[in-house]
Amino acid sequence: MEIIELTAVQLAQKIRSRELSSKEVVNYYAERIRSLDGEINAFITQSFDIALKQAEEVDKKIAKSEEVAPYAGVPIGIKDLIVTKGLRTTCASKILENFIPPYDGTVARKVKENGLPIMGKLNMDEFAMGSSNENSYFGPVKNPWDLQRVPGGSSGGSAAAVAAGEVPWALGSDTGGSIRQPASFCGIVGLKPTYGLVSRYGLVAFASSLDQIGPMTRNVEDAAALLEIIAGHDPFDATSLDVDLPKFTEEIKKDVKDLKIAVIKELSGEGIDEGILNCFNNTLKKLEDAGVIIEEISLPSTSYALSAYYLIAPAEASSNLARYDGVRYGYRIENAENMLELYMKSRSEGFGDEVKRRIMLGTYALSAGYYEAFYGKALKARRLIRQEYERAFETYDLLVSPTTPTVAFKLGEKVSDPLKMYLSDVCTVSANLAGLPSASVPCGLSEGFPVGFQIIGPALSDHLVLRLSKAVEDATQFELKPLKELKK
């Protein structure tokens, strides 16, 4: 079998049994990145030298029959907003173009401790703000299924790198759909864990009450494995949960028979493309054949989730991004006469259009006279949304819907209309507002492009979300075509 055909978990087994060395695998993927990424543009920074060193260490340990971590030696790509010590971390922004972190984020540390060679830092929408990856200072990422189309965003580089077979797996982050929407557009698996399951220490903040890091992989087993690596309590993140974790790779093997799920009516009808609904409904039938009990539920407040989200997320962003002031790190204009000029000009030259727009939105929503009518109302709506979910989970194990209203759209199609762009997050934002685990799993093609099946579960039911994800994967037998079609 060729290296490209092996999943991350299979690669790990072959590396342990010495059928393959980690170095061979790293070299293979480095070669693939070199030949494909000129067009795809998934990487902002490549770090093959570092990856090779890490790989050699793993190989040495295995040669000496020393203990290694379960998935040691399998290379990975990391979204460029997780800080990596000594390795440039830009958030796809001019303002951090030359930022070299002096420390590792917790997830980056775990990746290293688990012996996963880091191939580089992946492209994204600037500060994770966007749904098409067209907001990157380092240029847009292309969808491996069709280079004229967007990969989705904001974790577009992570999704494209996995779909193109530039890395076996990758890490993304999800504030309003930034893992699931690009996973859907690129035909891969993406999981946004329960809020607090994965540490945010060293994740450059966009909207702190919504952000979560999660796995982006070719299949569900790899997602479960990567979640086992990154999840867990961290004293460096006060919002991190101190709970016992299930063994996700074992949980996905369990049967889904008699699992009771409901289709969210508001997210599975009007406004969703017909081709998507066909794929989604076909998948439901197959799940029913597998013994899943399927009903429908109305969650009226989810129709308001997008409105609440586009007040809460920008409000938090406007506060979080106040730190970019040109003093301690980041871009700074030359020869400023005074502090005000230094702040205003450094920020205006350093931030891109969408980031400015969100800072403006958030500042407006938080400003005197508008706070109660906008931010205050949005927070109450958020409570309502969570209550509706909690009530639904009294009856159902999981809720489902399509991940996106359309398949991957063309580059340039929505750039000039921000509101239209925001509407691509309509199905995904409510899970972030309520802090719930949610996955997107490919379930078929519409017009030749991948369709995502979204699963949302109660807090800390990540194992159940993954279990149903596995059932969707088994039922649909989706083929990730670019893996074979794109040749190095």
Partner 1 sequence: MSISKDEVRHVAKLARLELSEEEIEKFSNQLSQILEHAARVQELDLENLEPLTHAVDRRNVFRSDEVKECLSREEALSNAPEREGEFFKIPPIV
219-278: contacts with partner 1 (CB under 8 A): 235, 238-239, 241
Q: Is 63 in the site for partner 1 (CB under 8 A)?
A: no
Stretch that binds partner 1, among 64-72, 128-136, 256-264, 364-372 (CB under 8 A): 364-372
Stretch that binds partner 1, among 67-75, 112-120, 134-142, 352-360 (CB under 8 A): 352-360
Q: Is 178 a catalytic residue?
A: yes
* Amino acid of residue 72: A
Strand order in the sheet with 260-264: 43-46, 118-122, 76-79, 169-174, 212-217, 189-192, 438-446, 449-456, 398-402, 260-264, 293-297
Q: Which of 132, 155, 178, 301 is catalytic?
A: 178
Report the alpha-carbon distance of residue 390 to residue 62 in Å, rounded. 47
Q: Is 328 in the site for partner 1 (CB under 8 A)?
A: yes
Dihedral over Cα of 223, 469, 453, 261: its sign: negative
Quote the DSSP letter at residue 464.
H
Stretch that binds partner 1, among 95-103, 214-222, 440-448, 468-476 (CB under 8 A): 95-103
Site string for partner 1, 441-470 (x = CB under 8 A): ------------------x-----------
User: Measured from the CB atom, is 148 or 348 closer to partner 1?
Assistant: 348
Dihedral Cα 169, 175, 176, 178, nearest 10 deg: -30
Report the nearest approach of partner 1 to the CB of residue 329 (Å): 4
Q: Is 434 in the site for partner 1 (CB under 8 A)?
A: yes
The residue count of the chain comes to: 488
User: Measured from the CB atom, is 344 or 445 closer to partner 1?
Assistant: 344
Report the nearest approach of partner 1 to the CB of residue 319 (Å): 10
Report the alpha-carbon distance of residue 381 to residue 360 in Å, rounded. 21
Report the nearest approach of partner 1 to the CB of residue 54 (Å): 22
Exposed e or buried b for every residue in 49-64, given b needs 16+ CB within 10 A? Answer: ebbbebbebbbebbee
For partner 1, the binding residue among 338, 394, 477, 487 (CB under 8 A) is: 338
Report the alpha-carbon distance of residue 418 to residue 44 in Å, rounded. 24
Query: What tokens does 223 get?
Result: 């997602």
Stretch that binds partner 1, among 98-106, 117-125, 286-294, 478-486 (CB under 8 A): 98-106
Q: Is 48 in the site for partner 1 (CB under 8 A)?
A: no
Q: Is 307 in the site for partner 1 (CB under 8 A)?
A: yes
Q: Tell me the catalytic residues.
A: 79, 154, 178
